[in-house]
Structure 1
């Protein structure tokens, strides 16, 4: 496998690759797509497992059942107090966020986060990825939802003290800052500080430190401040329009005016002004490239001539790559009836591994594969390339923008600018 510039973190699959494959090894277990089948596999084979393998399987089952929202199954496997490896602990925090945001299981979130924080305090568990403050945020917000105001305020204050300065602004984990602001606003509002909560979320949406889960919170707080929800949609739109225009003007400067081949993509080096690194090499027309779908069927990119085409290069081991997908989904939804196509192109990894990851996540975008990285010799993930309807590269960008909405605004602006410039060029040719 070729080296990638480390904009990425280890995935569960990559973690598993470090363990030699055994008949009943963790890697085999993780390649079972459905947790129901994992459960069956474990219970049929647990008598044959060594103690270490038995612990790893139970930990994996606990994580995967929690991610699915099955609390009875999670409690069953958690009762044996398995020890979690760093990736399993990270995935536990993801599962808890899902349990809070999507399942609204506030009692369970308050209970589990409290238990996990106790384990961390005792030193029974370790937090290799700096996610302790996420557990604190979730615990505070869940307690606020349950009316435990004093506990919520104390925990959110502790969380603020625990965060590393850059933790909420890094480009690795999905929606770290926006999730924190949402939970902070929930706590402040329940505590009666509605104006603080209102101002916090107003600023968040205005600056694109936002995501779709924040809208419901914001609407509740708006009602408390204004007395009703009248005018909420217009107010929210004014904030999001301002955020979008900011990124539209920023993205305009990135437009590739002369997209001659070969073209080398670059990105700035953090904390080294004026210096860049190469991210990909385009040395052939996109119409000459054929990649396989996740089902193994060839996809000729020439078939998308006449459309704005987006290729986003990723791997399952790239945490910021996957973090960006939620923003891409919003863009795809906007252009369902338009001449537009987006593919996320997996690099380096075998089909079976990607299929399991995509099903379990789940990845809702269309996936292509370039296991040998032949198409664009990508050296940094995530990297996206935007083509105009004639197949010319008009934008490229690397890294995760830091929030779902910011990722959405940036890619949408790239698509809109590409469409507008293509329409202008077409109009000139007609004249």
Structure 2
């Protein structure tokens, strides 16, 4: 028995030794739960302690554990790994700042948000982290919002202004809600400073132009009451702004209708369970397909709007698929599980349907009518949850109207 136990221990240790650092990192990043990530990391360093001459050997593991524990809501665990002084990659800094955004916008853990954002901003200035994705401006917004909620209005106003000086991605439809989140926070901060009418104007224009999210409406309602002295007419006011935004987008979509009809190609795809799927089996429904990959930030940015569209059309003959390009199940499934998205994922074997449709890149969506005809396509991300949803809705409604002869 002792020999058997020793053999098992040797086999377990050699399993780590037989894998390259790249293979180990891939396995680690494909783990869905942070608790399992931590177990993997602890086993790894127990069997292969860090080389004293390479203090950064396991830096990315520690950094990822810090971020994932923060996302989990365990601030003590975040601090434990953060105290090991990890250097965050661009993606890790992106995810960390996103979590602080969620908390500050939902009015949760405000003191923690203020403290962490301050600390990370100071470290970015010292070039400790990779800020390729321009998270400095977002962290300044977050810090400003946290200070406004804490009553530190002067600091809030200073930092929201500073965020304008370093916002390379704000006006570029690449990351989810970049400008919409900024306008929402600016409105809230202006109102906290007593500038209620200016705040109302800022938020109203955001909704009118669809540079908005559902959170914008929550802020707008609160500011409306302060600016007007009551909530009378607020629902009608918001509905009119939303309709104005939608009608403008619908007119733009109508101009992009493709006169030459493209037929749905006869291509077999694969779902997450390995089952063969043909889009032609969904004739009789409006089908939306969108090409994506896990490394495409604008692709992922559109997912919440897709989920919203699925809910909106749940009682109609409607189907939406996101078709992964260039990745396999072992990459896409852990990603979707970790992020919590419930979309129907298909895999495009050898880029067959991508090529057959003449797609140009990711993200790109195609709208297929009930007869299998395609007259609409859309490239890129619209820039905000509301604008992406309105655009998709307008495309679906136009397809329905044109295919029924209206």
What TM-score does the superposition give when structure 2 sets the normalisation length? 0.90
Match of 1:253 in 2: 255
| Native 8 Å contact 2:270 2:349 kept in 1 | no
Residue correspondence of structure 1 range 193-232 to structure 2 within 5 A: 193-232=195-234
Within the alignment, does 1:30 sit opposite 2:32 as a pair? no
| Native 8 Å contact 1:346 1:371 kept in 2 | no
Give the counterpart of 1:400 among 371, 381, 388: 381
What is the number of equivalent residue pairs in this alignment?
380
Give how far 1:371 is off: 4.2
Residue correspondence of structure 1 range 164-243 to structure 2 within 5 A: 164=168, 167-243=169-245
Spell out, residue by residue over 1:191-217, the C-alpha distance to the aligned partner (whole angstroms, 9 max, x if none).
Answer: 101111100000000011101121111
Match of 2:3 in 1: none
Runs of 4+ in 1 over 4 A off after TM superposition: none
Give how far 1:102 is off: 4.4
Match of 2:298 in 1: 320
| Native 8 Å contact 1:69 1:103 kept in 2 | no
Structure 1 CA distance for aligned equivalents of residues 102 and 49 of structure 2: 31
Give how far 1:308 is off: 0.5
| Native 8 Å contact 1:67 1:98 kept in 2 | no
Higher relative CO (Cα under 8 Å, sequence separation at least 6) belongs to 1
Structure 1 CA distance for aligned equivalents of residues 106 and 272 of structure 2: 28
Match of 1:268 in 2: none
Give how far 1:75 is off: 1.5
Structure 2 CA distance for aligned equivalents of residues 370 and 200 of structure 1: 43
Structure 2 CA distance for aligned equivalents of residues 126 and 32 of structure 1: 23
Structure 2 CA distance for aligned equivalents of residues 333 and 21 of structure 1: 44
| Native 8 Å contact 2:90 2:129 kept in 1 | no
Q: Using a 3 Å threshold, how does the CA distance of structure 1 residues 361 and 49 change in structure 2: closer, same or farther? A: farther
Residue correspondence of structure 1 range 334-349 to structure 2 within 5 A: 334-349=312-327
Match of 2:330 in 1: 352
What TM-score does the superposition give when structure 1 sets the normalisation length? 0.84
Give how far 1:153 is off: 1.0
Structure 1 CA distance for aligned equivalents of residues 262 and 344 of structure 2: 28
Moved more, 297-306 or 43-52: 43-52
Give how far 1:30 is off: 0.6
Structure 2 CA distance for aligned equivalents of residues 204 and 177 of structure 1: 9
Give how far 1:225 is off: 0.9
* Higher alpha-carbon Rg: 2
Give how far 1:26 is off: 2.1
Spell out, residue by residue over 1:339-372, the C-alpha distance to the aligned partner (whole angstroms, 9 max, x if none).
Answer: 1100001111010110111111122211111142
Within the alignment, does 1:39 sit opposite 2:34 as a pair? no
Give how far 1:124 is off: 2.5
Moved more, 392-401 or 97-106: 97-106
Structure 1 CA distance for aligned equivalents of residues 167 and 402 of structure 2: 43
Structure 1 unpaired stretches of 5+: 1-19, 262-284, 426-431
| Native 8 Å contact 2:176 2:298 kept in 1 | yes
Residue correspondence of structure 1 range 264-283 to structure 2 within 5 A: none
Give the counterpart of 2:110 among 106, 115, 132: 106
Structure 2 CA distance for aligned equivalents of residues 213 and 260 of structure 1: 38
| Native 8 Å contact 1:222 1:232 kept in 2 | yes
Spell out, residue by residue over 1:376-406, the C-alpha distance to the aligned partner (whole angstroms, 9 max, x if none).
Answer: 2244110100011000002001111111111
Moved more, 343-352 or 321-330: 321-330
| Native 8 Å contact 2:348 2:354 kept in 1 | no
Structure 2 counterpart SS, 1:375:
helix
Structure 2 CA distance for aligned equivalents of residues 338 and 185 of structure 1: 37
Give how far 1:296 is off: 1.4
Give how far 1:229 is off: 2.0
Give how far 1:303 is off: 2.1
| Native 8 Å contact 2:269 2:277 kept in 1 | yes
| Native 8 Å contact 1:137 1:155 kept in 2 | yes
Give the counterpart of 1:368 among 321, 341, 346: 346
Structure 1 CA distance for aligned equivalents of residues 390 and 109 of structure 2: 31
Match of 1:133 in 2: 137
Structure 1 counterpart SS, 2:375:
strand
Q: Using a 3 Å threshold, how does the CA distance of structure 1 residues 295 and 149 change in structure 2: closer, same or farther? A: same
| Native 8 Å contact 2:157 2:189 kept in 1 | yes
Structure 2 CA distance for aligned equivalents of residues 371 and 52 of structure 1: 38
Match of 1:16 in 2: none
